[in-house]
Amino acid sequence: MTLLIQQTVTGLAVGCIYALVALGFVLLYKATGAINFAHGELMVLGAFAIYVGMVSLKLPGWVAIPLAVLALAGVGLVVERLVARPLIHSGIFTVVMATLGVAVIIRGVLAAFLVAQGAGDALPFPKIFPDQAVRVGDITVAPVYLWTIAIAVVLILAFSLFFKYTAWGVAMRATAQDRVVARLMGTRVGQVYALSWALSAMLAAVAGLLLAPVTFLSIDMGTIGLKAIPAAILGGFGSIPGAILGGVIIGLAEGYAGIYLPEGFRNVFAYVVLLVVLMIRPTGLFGLPERKRV
């Protein structure tokens, strides 16, 4: 029972990270229609940026982390301007391949960085969260997980409010619904696209900040970031509450699969879920069915 509860907390925390990654991913898809396969790499880049700030430049955490998040916003803007916007009228295949190209470039740069640090495949991440485990009765929880859950909940709430009440949030929703009409209504669609990329990259950086203390700082973290895609599909692609719920469900399911199912299932459980959802209900939990048009 203790194990179960502990695994639930861990699963919830991991699920929150997935949810944050999925939130950035879906946000971008909703506003611009682009599917960003470099999202996992942006997350890794964010974690590396924090590492550079705290270890190489020896800045305190409260300076380095916001700086890294801002830097990622800049990266998002550059990618939008140079890669995404010129391909705005191309099909989904082209956009996916182009963002894969971005992913390859980021991975190459980070590999060179690792070599320059002389660190092999992974670097230890600087301590951000306290080490002291929190005990409640029999259950011990690492504070990282509690922080993760707290930050994720705050960010998700903030984003819901942002979409609902701010002018930019409304503009993003309008663009998501219909680009042309939004432009006719005076929305600056180009700026909305830029903002979406920046926000999405910033969310990726925060997810990297939360994930890196749990794993090591390595390029393979991006693979974990890709699990946000099953989460987004499970929730219904294009639905933000769905992405969050999907992330949490996948995180929990993986945790339980680690205990109750034979070895190997844990790694692929998210993908099994993805397959089942795609076969049975491609619209996911909250997605709207898409109509095919000639």
Partner 1 sequence: MRLTWSAVTAPLGRAYTLPGKSWRRDLVRVGLWAALAVALWTVPNWVSRPNLHFVILAMIYVLIAASLNLLTGVAGQFSLGQAMFVAIGAYSATILTSKGLAFTLPGLGWAVSVPKLSPLAALVLAGLLATLVGVVIGIPSLRISGFYLALATWALAVVGTEIITQWKDVTGGFQGLSVPRPPLVLDLSWLGLGMPSYAIRRDQDFYYGALVVVVGCLLLLRNLLRGHLGRAFQALRDNEIAAEAMGINLARTKTLAFAVSAFYAGIAGSLFAHFTQFISTRDFTVDVAIAWLVMIVVGGLGSIGGAILGGMFITFLPELVKLANEVLLIPIAKEAIKPAVEPVLYGLILILLLRFEPLGLWGRWQRIRRYWARFPL
Rule CB under 8 A: which residues touch partner 1?
Answer: 35, 82-83, 86-87, 90, 92-94, 96-98, 100-105, 107-109, 111-112, 115-116, 229-230, 233, 263-264, 267-268, 271-272, 274-275, 278-279, 282, 292, 294
Query: Which alpha helices (DSSP H) does 80-187 contain, by range?
Result: 92-117, 143-165, 167-177, 179-184
Of the pair 24, 287, the CB lying nearest partner 1 is at 287
- Strands 122-123 and 217-218 come out as antiparallel
Q: Which is nearer to partner 1, 60 or 262 (CB)?
A: 262
CB of 130 to partner 1, least distance (A): 34
Q: C-alpha dihedral over 29, 35, 39, 41, to 10 degrees?
A: -170
Return the number of the residue (149 or 226) whose C-beta is nearest partner 1. 226
Which of these, 221, 225, 212, lies nearest to 124 by C-alpha position? 212
Choice between 66 and 282, CB closer to partner 1: 282
Contact 47, 210 (CB under 8 A): no
Rounded distance, CA 38 to CA 75, Å? 12
Task: Determine the Cα angle at 38 with ends 46 and 128, to 5°.
Answer: 20
Of residues 35 and 128, the one with the C-beta less far from partner 1 = 35
Q: Strand, coil or helix: what is 217?
A: strand
Q: Cβ closer to partner 1: 69 or 226?
A: 226
Q: Least separation, in Å, of the C-beta of 111 and partner 1?
A: 4
| Phi–psi pair at 72, nearest 5 degrees | -65, -35
Q: Nearest distance from residue 276's CB to partner 1, in Å? A: 9
Tell me how far, at minimum, the Cβ of 273 lies from partner 1, in Å.
Answer: 9
Shortest Å, Cβ 270 to partner 1 = 8
Minimum distance from CB of 163 to partner 1 (Å)? Answer: 23
Sign of CA dihedral 168, 173, 176, 177: negative
